[in-house]
Structure 1
């Protein structure tokens, strides 16, 4: 994923020709410097060894978080997660006696995961968890963020902060790609259609109340519009677009990623979101985007190309497999799959030259 991290010294890692980096390519990135090769006490608010957990009693809002990893006599390998399984830093190595420092902007809300509380409401305040084969944390700083660009996500279970592995939404992994000064606020919720997301007070109305001028709102709904008519679907999208614009926000339509349902070596109409009453939902969304002059990221087309290029067998790794995950599910993503779909979403943000693109690592 396009997730190389800004170094504290201000020198960003260079992106490859495609502008995307894998998790493996990120290991060991960061501003490292020699340090005393001796064990360090954990920062205030942190406890444990593997994982190391930290809690800060802050009110809901957006916070600039800076962490320093390493500093111990042995090499470290650390991942950083916040709130309900939002990945901020993929597995990162630090050499013995060195420290690497990273900065992020983090959205804190209650409930901390899915807005309707599916999977639990979590704990008030900011929760950080450092995992990995040998997690090491030498410093943590948490400060209110001064009016960051907030990118809101309106979506379903393929987007949301899934509370339990192996299920992973793309919205909870693209967070590693966003530089300080911008933040992802993920209001996606499992099981929501365009109509239910629009009407539930915890979802679109709650999101709408927080939008400030120029905040982008990414709208990916369609998986659960299985019996929605074309006119109802378009009306729901039109309503969200007009209300976001009325608040000064910038709506962005995202067509739903495909399901893994093959007929031979091609995906079926159901996989491509032609619903039970014959409505081609991605086509309807594209038409709304054209009519309303709203940017459209065609995640259906992008994910179709990816899944079909991998074929019936290899594409299974993007989704949930019984042999690996204990469940077979051709709609929801593994962490690897969410990462690959997130790459496509980030690619679309760059292609459309959206405001968030300036904050991508």
Structure 2
């Protein structure tokens, strides 16, 4: 949601936002009275980036921010928790402001559920970065009953704690309107079997699923020695258990690796594993047999990567010259954004539960 505010409206919004923040922080420590008049909202400090912290328990929260409004032009992007992008770099003219709203999932640990890369800070963390970040108001309140879209996946999906590694689940958050939140339970190194059995992963996710919440399941990168029957059984078990909770399972075939033979991707890139199992084909078969919606991210990413070719496609992955590491499986921020866009396109085309909440 975006609205342009005049100077008086900005003053009213700023005052109201500070009051909401003070209410949200009641009982978490003394807040000085002069916080209402200082340049940054209560709970925020720094300049580039500006960091804000709110001591709220795990759950879903509606967050509204006002950016700009300073004497100079601004260029601001907003990240939450473990590098989830909510607002791409956005320009504001000198003396102008804009307001944006989101629904944010807060959990602990805030990044990968098994704590890989660290547990982060309890509560809600916001970070305003960019060439000239500006924030004039922040309000935080519990979301009454949002749709929560759960992501069950591996390192190509998860909230990667440190750049340059980026999961597509960290980038699709920019497209989601308030009233829906992305709960990313992706975790590095997980196969379909390990994800299903680890109490911090599928069982933890399943415990939170409510009626009509979609659960997007993308596993396969690490099923390198998994048999066809085991892979199918693992996926079917997840589908059955999500449905038993009233959730809506959605299968997502894994995006390709960047491994070329000439101008075409290899069988390994297309997830034919070490024991000859074509994992995307098995997932398609399970989806058809179970009547489950399926997003064919393998096919869509294959088309994208092969259209770019061996050279240009490198920018979607990690390059030694830019990132300090060469990695043809994991995405750069740009690559995660492009792959996430393919997923969002499929959600819209199939009118999946999250579709009505996409910008």
Whether TM-score is above 0.5 comes out as yes
Three-state SS of the structure 2 residue aligned to 1:355 is coil
Kindly indicate whether the alpha-carbon contact (under 8 Å) linking 1:320 and 1:327 is maintained by their aligned counterparts in 2.
yes
Distance 1:329 1:210 in 2: 34
Distance 2:7 2:221 in 1: 51
5+ residue gaps, structure 2: 12-36
**Residues 27-46 of structure 1 mapped to structure 2, 5 A cutoff:** 31-35=3-7, 41-46=39-44
Kindly indicate whether the alpha-carbon contact (under 8 Å) linking 1:234 and 1:288 is maintained by their aligned counterparts in 2.
yes
Measured after TM superposition, the shift of residue 34 of structure 1 is 3.2
Give the direction of change, closer, same or farther, for the CA distance of 1:40–1:132 in structure 2 (3 Å limit): farther
Three-state SS of the structure 2 residue aligned to 1:137 is coil
Measured after TM superposition, the shift of residue 32 of structure 1 is 2.0
Kindly indicate whether the alpha-carbon contact (under 8 Å) linking 1:40 and 1:138 is maintained by their aligned counterparts in 2.
no
Three-state SS of the structure 1 residue aligned to 2:94 is coil
**Residues 79-118 of structure 1 mapped to structure 2, 5 A cutoff:** 79-118=77-116
Q: Which runs of 4+ in 1 moved over 6 A?
A: 36-40
Does residue 173 of the first structure (1) align with residue 171 of the second (2)? yes
Aligned counterpart, 1:140? 138
5+ residue gaps, structure 1: 1-5, 8-30
Kindly indicate whether the alpha-carbon contact (under 8 Å) linking 1:211 and 1:249 is maintained by their aligned counterparts in 2.
yes
Distance 2:141 2:239 in 1: 33
Measured after TM superposition, the shift of residue 350 of structure 1 is 0.9
Measured after TM superposition, the shift of residue 87 of structure 1 is 0.3
Distance 1:187 1:135 in 2: 29
Three-state SS of the structure 2 residue aligned to 1:305 is helix
Measured after TM superposition, the shift of residue 40 of structure 1 is 6.2
Kindly indicate whether the alpha-carbon contact (under 8 Å) linking 1:87 and 1:175 is maintained by their aligned counterparts in 2.
yes
Larger of the two Rg values belongs to structure = 2
Aligned counterpart, 2:323? 325
Three-state SS of the structure 2 residue aligned to 1:153 is strand
Measured after TM superposition, the shift of residue 355 of structure 1 is 1.1
Match of 2:188 among 187, 190, 194: 190
Distance 2:342 2:312 in 1: 18
Match of 2:63 among 62, 65, 70: 65
Aligned counterpart, 2:18? none
Three-state SS of the structure 2 residue aligned to 1:116 is coil
Distance 1:350 1:217 in 2: 16
Q: Larger % of helix: which? A: 2
Three-state SS of the structure 1 residue aligned to 2:136 is strand
Aligned counterpart, 1:21? none
Three-state SS of the structure 1 residue aligned to 2:233 is helix
Three-state SS of the structure 2 residue aligned to 1:157 is coil
